[in-house]
A and B are shown apart, each in its own frame.
Chain A
């Protein structure tokens, strides 16, 4: 059974005319890495807000259809319990710092304090996460003085420390410089091997291609395409939907058009390299 299941879900924010999500049906299985792509205003963040329970508990508005988390409708979930099941990291690194802690170590521990984790265990978990995310050198720093990239890593750390089964990550690099982006993707790479369910919204399509098992393409509040990453990203129809595809896939399609098709259309640089090398 799918861990998260949406059946004909439509949603519109309060005081708005248009639906942000329109008749969305999709599902997310445990342990898989999902990527959500699509143009701005396509409903990606709204979908994240729904999965995380912010809709309908935080954002009111009109919600129809069914959104089931572990078989239970999102309307029946207590958000205070949902936060220990689904972690959420979003775009703005500056508003994800609590503002009340004076060291990064304390900031990372904040979720564990709220969950009532015993102190000794809390310290061990924070140490592990800080080492895993390579922010050990920052633990004494005041989180309010960190750069955007560093704050985003600390935000990741405090959510990962809570050890939720599922992580919803909404455009974590949209406000970061290339170095910050690289560091965040190092974290995402670590998460990929952690057997968690990850739902990542991201515009950097090459990175999505590298990490995700499955992809959803959102357009005007609906799911335009969904399926295994390779299948979706090599679909020619995607180009008609203003969705970006990896440069390597574009190259593969162009080769196909030129009658010099590669054995398969590559979606990552490594794949392209191997295929071209194979051809000789």
Chain B
């Protein structure tokens, strides 16, 4: 047995990475404040700055591949779609400065910038949240929430629901495989796949429901409903003062962005 591993539970939860080791709630506060600020400011420059910062963190925390893949899935269609829609809505945005032509179709600067504002605030918001979720174990977040008074029941429901989705996917795969073995076509075009998939939903949900009853019994056997103090094998490190300062800065950025947006709106009026 790896005793070193076993005794590592005596220490605080540690990943050896400055960002990952932040308290999950602090990280969430920072990410949400910056993300919401991006939505409030609604300027492409702010979104781009957020994406740059998030990308640096993605490199630092070694999640760049997953991060860029997910961001591209959200960002590229969004950029294209908003640009085209805004150009089609030409005239709704004041200004008519031509910038370039696409296959003879004249594009204008003002609707283009408006589309960039929309796309980049969403991409900016997504980028900070992506970095958060790629670097935060849900069990750490739930542990942090339990430390702040969330009941272990709520925490368990959250975490086990996520596992249930994985389990249900596994049982769907198993059923599809057995259907295949019985000669039912499961591969092919969308309609063929749907025809094979929909009949599996009944057994999947029924087995999930019966599994839930047994899981409840298993958890009861593990003293889940035991009254009295819980202890934790994994303990998050105490939050240092500088982490609170980081949170405060993020909240301040959000407040400033709200004030800036309100003042800008008033100025326009």
Chain A residues with a Cβ under 8 A of chain B: 52, 54, 58, 78-81, 83-84, 87-90, 92, 94-102, 105-106, 109-120, 122-123, 126-127, 130-131, 136-137, 139-140, 144, 155, 158-159, 162
Tell me whether A54 and B220 are in contact in the complex, defined as CB-CB below 8 angstroms, given that A95-B215, A99-B167 are known contacts: yes
Q: Is the CB of B6 within 8 A of A126?
A: yes
From A52, A80, A105, B223 is in contact (CB under 8 Å) with A80
| A123 CA to B234 CA, complexed, in Å | 11
Q: Is the CB of B233 within 8 A of A123?
A: yes
Q: Is B105 an interface residue (CB 8 A)?
A: no
Q: Is the CB of B226 within 8 A of A80?
A: yes
Closest 4 CB pairs of A and B: A136-B1, A95-B214, A99-B163, A114-B223
Q: Is the CB of A118 within 8 A of B231?
A: yes
Tell me whether A58 and B220 are in contact in the complex, defined as CB-CB below 8 angstroms, given that A80-B227, A99-B160 are known contacts: yes
- Chain A residues with CB under 8 Å of B227's CB are 78, 80
Q: Is the CB of A54 within 8 A of B217?
A: yes
| A84 CA to B232 CA, complexed, in Å | 18
- Chain A residues with CB under 8 Å of B222's CB are 83, 98, 110-111, 114, 158-159, 162
Q: Is B242 an interface residue (CB 8 A)?
A: no
Q: Which of B2, B219, B222 has the most CB of A within 10 A?
A: B222
- Chain B residues with CB under 8 Å of A111's CB are 221-223
Q: How far is the CB of A228 from chain B (nearest CB, A)?
A: 29
| A234 CA to B7 CA, complexed, in Å | 51
Tell me whether A139 and B6 are in contact in the complex, defined as CB-CB below 8 angstroms, given that A100-B139, A111-B223, A123-B233 are known contacts: yes
Q: Is B183 an interface residue (CB 8 A)?
A: no
- Chain A residues with CB under 8 Å of B139's CB are 100-102
Q: Is the CB of A123 within 8 A of B6?
A: yes
- Chain A residues with CB under 8 Å of B228's CB are 115-116
In the complex, the chain A residue whose C-beta lies closest to that of B216 is A58
Our count of residue pairs bridging A and B at CB distance below 8 angstroms stands at: 129
15 A-B residue pairs with Cβ-Cβ distance under 8 Å, sorted by A, are: A80-B225, A87-B221, A88-B221, A100-B139, A106-B234, A111-B223, A113-B233, A114-B222, A115-B223, A119-B233, A122-B231, A127-B6, A136-B1, A155-B218, A159-B222
Q: How far is the CB of B200 from chain A (nearest CB, A)?
A: 18
- Chain B residues with CB under 8 Å of A123's CB are 6-7, 9-10, 233
User: Please, how many residues of chain B have a CB less than 8 angstroms from a CB on the other chain?
Assistant: 41
In the complex, the chain B residue whose C-beta lies closest to that of A155 is B218
Q: Is the CB of A117 within 8 A of B231?
A: yes
B contacts with A: majority SS: helix
From A90, A117, A127, B1 is in contact (CB under 8 Å) with A127
- Chain B residues with CB under 8 Å of A84's CB are 223, 226
| A87 CA to B231 CA, complexed, in Å | 20
From B6, B167, B218, B225, A98 is in contact (CB under 8 Å) with B218
In the complex, the chain B residue whose C-beta lies closest to that of A88 is B221
Q: Is the CB of B159 within 8 A of A113?
A: no
Residues of B1-17 whose CB lies within 8 A of A: 1-3, 5-7, 9-10
- Chain B residues with CB under 8 Å of A94's CB are 211
| A255 CA to B115 CA, complexed, in Å | 94
Q: How far is the CB of A182 from chain B (nearest CB, A)?
A: 21
Q: Is B248 an interface residue (CB 8 A)?
A: no
Q: Is the CB of B217 within 8 A of A88?
A: yes
In the complex, the chain B residue whose C-beta lies closest to that of A91 is B214
Tell me whether A119 and B225 are in contact in the complex, defined as CB-CB below 8 angstroms, given that A83-B220, A92-B214, A100-B139 are known contacts: no
From A90, A109, A137, A144, B233 is in contact (CB under 8 Å) with A109
Q: Is B65 an interface residue (CB 8 A)?
A: no
- Chain A residues with CB under 8 Å of B6's CB are 105, 123, 126-127, 130, 139
Q: Is the CB of A95 within 8 A of B230?
A: no
Further pairs besides A54-B220, A83-B223, A114-B223: 19, Cβ < 8 Å: A58-B217, A78-B227, A79-B225, A81-B226, A83-B221, A87-B221, A89-B221, A96-B218, A97-B218, A99-B160, A99-B164, A111-B221, A112-B231, A113-B233, A114-B230, A130-B1, A136-B1, A136-B2, A139-B1
Q: Is B166 an interface residue (CB 8 A)?
A: yes
From B3, B5, B215, B229, A99 is in contact (CB under 8 Å) with B215
Tell me whether A105 and B9 are in contact in the complex, defined as CB-CB below 8 angstroms, given that A83-B223, A114-B224, A115-B226 are known contacts: yes
| A122 CA to B235 CA, complexed, in Å | 13
- B140-156 interface mask toward A, CB cutoff 8 Å, 1 = contact, 0 = none? 00000000000010001
Q: How far is the CB of B5 from chain A (nearest CB, A)?
A: 6
Tell me whether A98 and B160 are in contact in the complex, defined as CB-CB below 8 angstroms, given that A58-B217, A83-B222, A114-B230 are known contacts: yes
| A126 CA to B230 CA, complexed, in Å | 16
